[in-house]
């Protein structure tokens, strides 16, 4: 659809251009394209006379296409890179910067205003134009084929048409179109950067609003991560300093939290050890009080310190010490076992029934005898 509109626009511009040429040259339309080269730098006018507006100063040597004459002026086609203007009420365009004329007959002007008669072309509803940028109440567009201006004849040397001249002129048009593409690309990049900056600013404002009441009771690690995510993209030095200060303050709070948590964890471990020790003491006292009701196996004989013995039991590694349990219900704590030479990782035997050969390393009244393990055999 866009291609068909553009083609219809080209056809329309050609018809308008030839009609205007016929009017200005007394009805004599050139049979083929005419070209001219500027012999000296001169002004490009919006109309054939000094009462019209000067649109641009053009350097000598430039090639132009002559599409008509009016008195002492040549009417020339404007290049694709030439900007002109249409009121925003008569054009609709989107992010692709391709506009569609919405008015019935609309003037393209050389300035973003209506003072004076500066119309350089008339376009109709549905015609397609490439948009450059908005300019207040007006929209700056790329001059389509057929848009025209005027040069003094005395400063233009006619050039006979030839394939080489056609190619040179087309190259000028292509460079003009590429200029528009480059500027559109740069414009989009600038808009994207501006939008990204605005998004970063909004996110920073939101974080600052949430931080206004302090950080107590909030997820500090998450907030720090959000500030750190913003930092690499911030370009404003004041914003960067603010974010860096916030991150430093959060780090201080995190360190304080970690220290408090470490103290709490240590106290909890100490309380747990004390409770387990008291529980073991109670069980040992209960066992001693009921020696007469238990089999000899539940109250193993304890040899002298340094003596060697073989014992059976189930490994319990849930506490601060590794305990060998046994007895009638296989759950009474019998011995604490250690491995000073680290030959065995006793925790690896947790929950298993084993046979232990070792020597008595420590005997303290009220505590389990400690056996230094020399050999272990897993029982099936």
CATH code assigned at 51? 2.30.30.40
Domain end: 145, 163, 186, which one? 186
Q: How wide is the angle at C-alpha 353 spanned by C-alphas 328 and 376, nearest 5°? A: 125
Mean residue pLDDT across the chain: 79
List, in order, residues 6 or more apart from 331 with CB less than 8 Å away: 314, 325
Q: Is residue 322 domain-resident?
A: yes
Mean local confidence (pLDDT), 154-167? 90
Q: How confident is the model at residue 315 (pLDDT cuts 50, 70, 90)?
A: very high
Q: Is residue 239 domain-resident?
A: no
**71-99 pLDDT per residue, tens:** 999 999 887 678 889 999 999 998 788 89
Closest CA to 121 of 160, 177, 83, 73: 83
Domain end: 131, 165, 186, which one? 186
| Angle of the 237-289 helix axis to the 220-230 helix axis, nearest 10 | 150
pLDDT at 29: 33
DSSP result, 229-290? HHGGG---HHHHHHHHHHHHHHHHHHHHHHHHHHHHHHHHHHHHHHHHHHHHHHHHHHHHHT
Same domain assignment for residues 180 and 318: no
State the CATH number of the domain containing residue 334.
Answer: 2.40.50.140
Evaluate if residue 285 carries a pLDDT over 70. yes
Q: Is residue 282 domain-resident?
A: no
Pick the most confident of 201-215, 266-280, 283-297, 306-320.
306-320
Contact 85, 99 (CB under 8 A): no
Same domain assignment for residues 175 and 316: no
Q: Is residue 284 domain-resident?
A: no
Domain end: 186, 212, 228, which one? 186
Evaluate if residue 161 carries a pLDDT over 50. yes
pLDDT at 231: 80
pLDDT at 22: 35
**188-238 pLDDT per residue, tens:** 676 667 677 777 777 777 777 776 666 655 677 777 788 888 788 777 888
pLDDT at 187: 67
Task: Please count the structural domains in the chain.
Answer: 2
**28-40 pLDDT per residue, tens:** 333 345 899 999 9
How many separate helices (H) and strands (E) can be counted in the chain? 4, 19
pLDDT at 253: 79
Evaluate if residue 153 carries a pLDDT over 90. yes
Which residue range forms the structural domain that includes residue 366? 296-378
What's the pTM? 0.42
């Amino acid at each position: 659809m866009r291609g068909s509109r553009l083609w219809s626009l080209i056809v329309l511009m050609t018809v308008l251009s030839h009609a205007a040429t016929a009017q200005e040259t007394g009805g004599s339309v050139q049979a083929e394209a005419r070209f001219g080269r500027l012999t000296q730098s001169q002004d490009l006018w919006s109309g054939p006379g000094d009462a019209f507006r000067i649109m641009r100063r053009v350097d000598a040597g430039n090639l132009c296409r002559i599409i008509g004459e009016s008195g002492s002026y040549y009417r020339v086609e404007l290049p694709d890179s030439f900007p002109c203007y249409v009121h925003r009420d008569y054009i609709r365009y989107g992010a692709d910067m391709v506009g569609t004329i919405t008015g019935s007959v609309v003037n393209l002007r050389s300035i973003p205003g209506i003072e004076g008669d500066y119309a350089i072309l008339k376009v109709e509803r549905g015609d397609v134009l490439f948009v450059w940028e908005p300019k207040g109440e007006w929209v700056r567009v790329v001059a389509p084929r057929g848009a025209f201006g005027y040069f003094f004849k005395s400063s233009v040397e006619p050039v006979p048409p030839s394939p080489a001249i056609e190619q040179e002129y087309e190259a000028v048009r292509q460079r003009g179109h590429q200029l528009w593409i480059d500027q559109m690309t740069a414009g989009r990049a600038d808009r994207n950067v501006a939008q990204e900056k605005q998004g970063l600013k909004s996110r920073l404002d939101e974080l600052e609003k949430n931080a206004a009441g302090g950080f107590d009771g909030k997820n500090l690690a998450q907030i720090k991560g959000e500030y750190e995510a913003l930092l690499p993209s911030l370009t404003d030095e004041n914003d960067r300093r603010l974010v860096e200060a916030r991150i430093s303050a959060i780090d201080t709070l995190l360190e304080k939290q970690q220290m408090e948590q470490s103290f709490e964890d240590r106290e909890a471990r100490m309380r747990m050890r004390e409770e387990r020790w008291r529980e073991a003491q109670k069980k040992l006292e209960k066992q001693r009080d009921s020696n007469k009701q238990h089999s000899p196996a539940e109250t193993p004989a304890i040899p002298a310190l340094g003596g060697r013995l073989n014992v059976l039991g189930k490994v319990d590694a849930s506490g601060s010490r590794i305990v060998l349990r046994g007895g009638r219900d296989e759950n009474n704590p019998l011995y604490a076992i250690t491995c000073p030479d680290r030959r065995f990782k006793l925790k690896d035997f947790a929950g298993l029934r084993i046979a232990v050969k070792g020597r008595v390393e420590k005997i303290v009244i009220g505590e389990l005898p400690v056996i230094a393990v020399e050999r272990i055999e897993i029982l099936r």
